[in-house]
Amino acid sequence: MTVRVLPAAGRVGVPWKNGGGVTREIAARPEGADMGDFEWRVSLADVGGDGPFSAFADVDRILTMVEGEGMDLTVGGEHRRVDTRFDPQRFPGDLPTDCRLIGGPVVNLNVMWHRGAAATPTVKVAAPRLSLALPAGPAVLVVALDGTAEVAGVTLGRYDAVLLTNEKSTLHATAHTAVITLTPSG
């Protein structure tokens, strides 16, 4: 049972694979994996302009817009409007995806995993002033999105995170807070 604090202040911005934006990794498995060999990866992405998303072979994504007016996405030729904050959107990461910003830059919480990986994520966003029992699963990642939250005795500021491994806890959200649960596949 472990509780690992992942402060936002320690994250370094890295250009996207296609150079169209910047990402700040929150957590990945295996730890230290690069963009080609992760099992799963969670990051915050700054999207500053229109253009294509990077394609990742055999990868699925859950994208949650946390700042901005929104995006018009074209995923594999199908239009998808993403203009509601804190609403997780799932789509294949290997389909050509083009983005047109609706009203300026956005920040997205991005969860990616390889199909057939040992764990499959789910993303839920807890509303402000909510207490939520968290399962003692193999991995639960909690990210404070637009304010503070408290979990496992740790107070999280905006974009701070905590990774719980086999640790049962309760989330006390004073703002929108993402809960990413990684469940063993199969």
CA distance 17 to 21: 9
Q: Tell me, what's the pLDDT at 105? A: 93
More confident residue, 56 or 17: 56
- 80 burial (CB, 10 Å; 0-12 / 13-18 / 19+) is middle
Query: What is the DSSP secondary structure assignment for residue 116, as one 8-state letter?
Result: T
- 44's CB contacts (< 8 A; 6+ apart) are 11, 23, 24, 26, 66, 107, 108, 109, 110, 159
pLDDT, tens only, 112-132:
999 887 778 999 999 999 899
Q: Which residue has the tokens 């229109």?
A: 50
Q: Which domains does the chain have, with CATH numbers?
A: 11-114 (2.60.120.10), 119-184 (2.60.120.10)
Angle among Cα 30, 36, 37 to the nearest 5 degrees reads 25
pLDDT, tens only, 56-79:
899 999 999 999 999 999 999 999
The pLDDT > 70 percentage for the chain reads 98
Q: Tell me, what's the pLDDT at 175? A: 94
Question: Mean pLDDT over residues 46-55, rounded?
Answer: 91
Contact between 89 and 123 (Cβ < 8 Å): no
pLDDT at 38 over 80: yes
The pLDDT > 90 percentage for the chain reads 75
